[in-house]
Structure 1
Amino acid sequence: MKAPEITSELKNDLKVLKMRASLDPKHFYKKNDRDGLPKYFQVGTVLDSPIDFYHSRIPKKQRKKTIVEELLADSELRRYNKRKYQEIMSEKAAYAAGKKNRKKKKFHN
């Protein structure tokens, strides 16, 4: 297998795949044991079955070129990410406010 040429789109897709555990809170993924991006990999295209033409097919207008574009178009995922971001920022703000109000201890030797 030859090492593919890594473009910015491929790089972003690989990063998303690496962080896929944070995308779906209900789905469990094994811990990623690899540091950095893989050197050798292949990219494929999933073909639709003609049987599922009316049921589970994504129309051509809704299809995106990369995984990142698909995730950005997903409104439920964006809502979830926005909510989680707000929760994390409010926790950080509460921690910082508590840290500000603590008395500074002086150490004497």
Structure 2
Amino acid sequence: MIQLVLQGLVAFVFLAAGVFNLAGMMTEEMVRLGYPGYFTTIIGVAYIIGVICIYQPRFAFLQDWAFGAMAATLVGAAGTHILIGDPISSATPAIGTLAALVATYALRGRFRED
């Protein structure tokens, strides 16, 4: 049960971020962080595809890749905030989401039927 709640939380965060990126609501922040403006479109699409992949039941390797890509994205997000000199509190949402993602992945392994 806790795995489903955590997975839902992670999916919500990535889906919302994907929609915000595609709507152009994150462009200014991404540019401030040093990324080109068009990166928001790329990352927005990737986030939404990642959410779809973690919920599709047929191909376990797609789920694994999505979890890995999400983890890399969250590490990159936290690292970017820290490296440009933002306060550590700016990286806290990414670190918290990463903790939920890792817990989801770890709990998922217990119930998987490969």
Q: Which has the larger radius of gyration?
A: 1
Q: Which has the higher helix share?
A: 2
Confirm or deny a common fold (TM above 0.5): no
TM-score class, shorter: 0.3 to 0.5
Q: Taking structure 1 as the reference length, what is the TM-score of the superposition? A: 0.34
Q: Taking structure 2 as the reference length, what is the TM-score of the superposition? A: 0.33
